[in-house]
Amino acid sequence: MNIGIDIKKQKELHQPVLLQEVLSYLYVKENEDSYVLDGTFGRGGHARAILEKFPQVKLVALDRDEEAVRYGKMYFQNFKDRFFMIHKKFSELSRDDLLLSPFLENSSGMDKEIYFQSILIDLGVSSPQLDQAERGFSFYQDGPLDMRMDRSEGESLDPTEVGAAKIINTWSKSGLIKLFKELGEVRRPERVVDAILNQRKTRRFSTTGQLAGLIARVQGWRQKGKHPATQFFLALRLQVNQELQEIQQGLPHLVSFLGDQGRLLVISFHSLEDRIVKYLFKEFEEKGLGKVLTKKVVKPKWEEKKKNPRARSAYLRVFERRKT
């Protein structure tokens, strides 16, 4: 797992989306310490901007990816008295985790209850994960058919028995069809699934190139327009990492960490994610937990979409906690 990549290159790999919108919606106290949780650190694009803009902010960062955690500990040392990194999913955050932070341990403002002024969740795969072939997220680069965000989970010496490869090599026809229809929103995946089942009889899948090539051949792709493997790879990634379940379980959990007027900001990248976020925010509001500040979803401006194509499908929703 190589992290010997310079900080300039990493910044180029990951441009934080909707950054100005995030900074404007963030709630921080003006003349006293404010606590922010970045629940999906990645390469810290949002976290760095928050720490630089708000000197009163002390930030706790989470990530399920060990490589992201190492990156944060290595390249955020200049914020060491205001920054603390934890290797964990946001749905599993505990108050005991937070008490390990030196700036929270003795803080009278965070004592037993431990409340944040703002929590940011940037869903989906990070640019470095997508750009590194060895992570197995990209169909444009040949690499292991993996897609695990946390590679310490489900380790195996056999590359055909881990992550997305295990699903492709072991799931039934009906299971694969259901997966691609429901999580990939593929209308007719049957021909691709039949081809997968036929090929794996003689040669099990172990690389992204194998699977992407098969899908392209079956779909008759002529290298124009969106790659036909896009939705198939999305479905596999969501399943491998249980990403939709993480949203469903994690957002209600995180609301309990918000103080009065605290804000939960969530960036999503496709309709399945955004649908869940929208539903949960509405549910929070109906339960009297606070109010949705973004009645209409916030989307990137034209200039940002032109500069950063990966921002095109981004959506931002914001919920404000009210305790009185």
How confident is the model over 89-129, as pLDDT tens digits? 999 999 999 988 887 765 555 555 679 999 999 998 777 77
What length does the chain have?
A: 324
> Quick one: pLDDT at residue 2?
40
Model confidence at 8: pLDDT above 50: no
Distance CA 160, CA 139 (A): 17
Q: Mean pLDDT check: name the lowest of 34-43, 51-60, 138-147.
A: 138-147
The region of weakest confidence among 3-7, 133-137, 171-175 is 3-7
CB 17 within 8 A of CB 120: no
Whether the predicted pLDDT of 255 surpasses 90: yes
CA distances from 46 to 40, 177, 195 (A): 10, 37, 42
Cα 309 to Cα 22, 45, 63, 230, 300, distances in angstroms: 18, 16, 24, 15, 10
Pick 324 or 312 by higher pLDDT. 312
CA 204 from chain center: how many Å? 29
CATH number, domain 133-241: 1.10.150.170
Asked if the domains 7-127+243-321 and 133-241 are classified in one and the same CATH topology, the answer is: no
* Residue 282 confidence (pLDDT): 98
* pLDDT tier for residue 1 given thresholds of 50, 70 and 90: very low
The larger pLDDT score, comparing residue 295 to residue 124, is at 295
* pLDDT, average across residues 153-177: 88
Question: What is the residue extent of each domain of the chain?
Answer: 7-127+243-321, 133-241
What is the mean pLDDT of the segment spanning 22-39? 95
Backbone angles phi, psi at 91, to 5 degrees: -70, -15
250, two tokens: 């994690």
* Residue 4 confidence (pLDDT): 43
Q: What percent of the chain has pLDDT over 70?
A: 90
CA distance linking residue 36 with residue 49, whole number of Å: 12
Q: What is the H or E stretch that residue 169 is in?
A: helix 163-170
Mean pLDDT of 140-160: 81
Distance between CA 87 and CA 201 in Å, rounded? 39
Asked which of 158-167, 179-188, 232-241 is least confident by mean pLDDT, the reply is 158-167
CA 113 to chain CA mean position, Å: 26
Largest CA distance in the chain: 67
Indicate whether 7 pLDDT > 70: no
Query: What span, in angstroms and rounded, lies between the C-alpha atoms of 262 and 283?
Result: 17
pLDDT at residue number 120: 99
Comparing 307 with 225, the larger pLDDT belongs to 307
pLDDT number for residue 157 = 64
Q: Which CATH number fits domain 7-127+243-321: 1.10.10.970, 3.50.50.60, 3.40.50.150, 3.40.190.10?
A: 3.40.50.150
Residue found by looking up tokens 């009906």 in the block: 174
Sheet order of strands, 116-122 included: 83-87, 57-63, 34-38, 116-122, 258-268, 315-321, 290-292
Q: Report the pLDDT value the prediction gives residue 127, as an integer from 0 to 100.
A: 72
